[in-house]
Amino acid sequence: MAVTDSLSRAATVLATVLLLSFGSVAASHIEDQAEQFFRSGHTNNWAVLVCTSRFWFNYRHVANTLSVYRSVKRLGIPDSHIVLMLADDMACNPRNPKPATVFSHKNMELNVYGDDVEVDYRSYEVTVENFLRVLTGRIPPSTPRSKRLLSDDRSNILIYMTGHGGNGFLKFQDSEEITNIELADAFEQMWQKRRYNELLFIIDTCQGASMYERFYSPNIMALASSQVGEDSLSHQPDPAIGVHLMDRYTFYVLEFLEEINPASQTNMNDLFQVCPKSLCVSTPGHRTDLFQRDPKNVLITDFFGSVRKVEITTETIKLQQDSEIMESSYKEDQMDEKLMEPLKYAEQLPVAQIIHQKPKLKDWHPPGGFILGLWALIIMVFFKTYGIKHMKFIF
C-alpha cells in the first residue's frame, strides 16, 4: 500500500512536473513568439525615393525610381509613408510616344507608372535643399503632410537614389550636386534627432560606392551599383520609345523584388548577391559595418515592405449612433432659412460698371528710404548754402 501510495504520489508528482514543464514550454513558446514580434525593433516603415535627372534621355532614371516605388507599394508601404521625388515628368513629356506610361521592360511589357502613382516632389522642386530638408525634418510649416518624412525613432527608412554621379557626388537636375559628406552629415542629423531606427541606403549611379564611404552614423546599411572608378550601365533600349529603359542594377533588383511577398523570409545577404559582375558589368558594393544586426538576420521586408504586427481579439465592440445631434442640426437649418434675405448672382460682364469706375485712392505712406535721404540731402545743402537763419521761416 505504501508502495502504491508512494508510487501514485510519485506518479502525480511526475505528472505535475511534466505538466508544469509542458506549461512552461508552451509559455516559453508564446514568449518566443512575442519575442519574435519585436525582434527587428521597428514599428513603421518609410521610403524616400529620389530620381535626380531631368530631360528625356534620362528616362531610365525615372523608370528606376518608379519600379522601386511600385515594389515598395506592393509590399505594403502606403503612399502616405512614401516620399517620391521625380525630377522630370516622363509620362506627359511631349516626346513620349505612349503618353501616361513609363515602361521598364522593352516591348512595353511593364508599365511602372500605373494609375495610382503619387509624386510628392516633382520637377523643379527636386533640389538638394528640399531633399536635405525632407531628411532632416527642417521643413517650412506650410508644407503639406504628404511632403514630409514623419519618421520617429522606431522607423525603418529605405532611401533610394538614382541619377548621374561621380566620385563623391550626385548630380541633381544638371545644376547642382550633393556630396557624400553632406549626405553623411544629414544622416547624422537624423540620428541625433532620432529620426530613424535603421536605414537602408541604395544608390544606382556611376561610382555609387563613393557616396556611402563617409557615413559615420550607426544603423546604416548601404548598397551601391558600382565601385569608385566604375560606371553603372543601362540595361536595354526600346526602339519604339527610343531611349534606354532601365539601369542594369535596378533591373535585377526589381526582378529580385518581384519574387518577394510580405511573408517571405529572404534576408539581406541575398540582396547583396543580386547582379554579379557578369550581369551588371560593374561591381555592386555594400557596407554593413555601421549596422548592428547581422545582415543574414535582416529580412528584406524590414525595409521594403511594411509588415504590420496584428493582434486579434475576440471581444465585440458596439458602436452607438448619436441621433440627438443630427436632429438638432436639421432644426437649426430650417429656422435659418426664414431669416436670410434673397441673394442674387453677379453680372457676368458689367460693362457700365467697369467704364465708370473711379480710381481707388491709394493709401498714403510716408516716404522712406531713398526719397527720404534725397530730400534730407537737398534740405541740408540748402541750409548750408543760404545759412541757418532761414530755418525759422520754414518751421
- Report if residue 332 touches another protein, rule: CB under 8 A: yes
Picking from 147, 191, 366, the residue whose alpha carbon sits closest to that of residue 291 is: 191
- Report if residue 143 touches another protein, rule: CB under 8 A: yes
Q: Name the residue with cell 550636386.
A: 177
- Report if residue 319 touches another protein, rule: CB under 8 A: no
Tally of CA atoms within 13 A in the half-sphere of 337 that contains its CB: 5
- Report if residue 361 touches another protein, rule: CB under 8 A: no
- Report if residue 167 touches another protein, rule: CB under 8 A: no
* Residues with catalytic function: 164, 206
Question: Cβ closer to another protein: 137 or 295?
Answer: 137
* CA–CA distance, 249 with 281 (Å, rounded to integer): 9
Q: What track of x and - describes contact with another protein for positions 111 through 140 (by CB under 8 A)?
A: ----xxxxx--xxxx---------------
- Report if residue 25 touches another protein, rule: CB under 8 A: no
- Least CB distance to another protein at residue 193 (A): 24
Bridge partners (DSSP) of residue 122 are 86
Backbone φ, ψ for residue 231 (5° rounding)? -105, 140
* CA–CA distance, 273 with 265 (Å, rounded to integer): 16
* CA–CA distance, 274 with 294 (Å, rounded to integer): 18
- Report if residue 387 touches another protein, rule: CB under 8 A: no
- Report if residue 177 touches another protein, rule: CB under 8 A: no
The single residue among 144, 239, 369, 387 that binds another protein, judged by CB under 8 A, is 144
The single residue among 239, 312, 345, 364 that binds another protein, judged by CB under 8 A, is 345
What residues numbered 67-106 form the site for another protein, per CB under 8 A?
89, 91-92, 98-101
- Least CB distance to another protein at residue 177 (A): 12
Annotated binding site: 79, 82, 118, 120, 206, 232, 234
Binding site per annotation, positions for Ca(2+):
79, 82, 118, 120
Q: Which residues bind another protein (CB under 8 A)?
A: 54-55, 89, 91-92, 98-101, 115-119, 122-125, 141-147, 173-175, 329-330, 332, 336-338, 340-349, 351, 354-355, 357
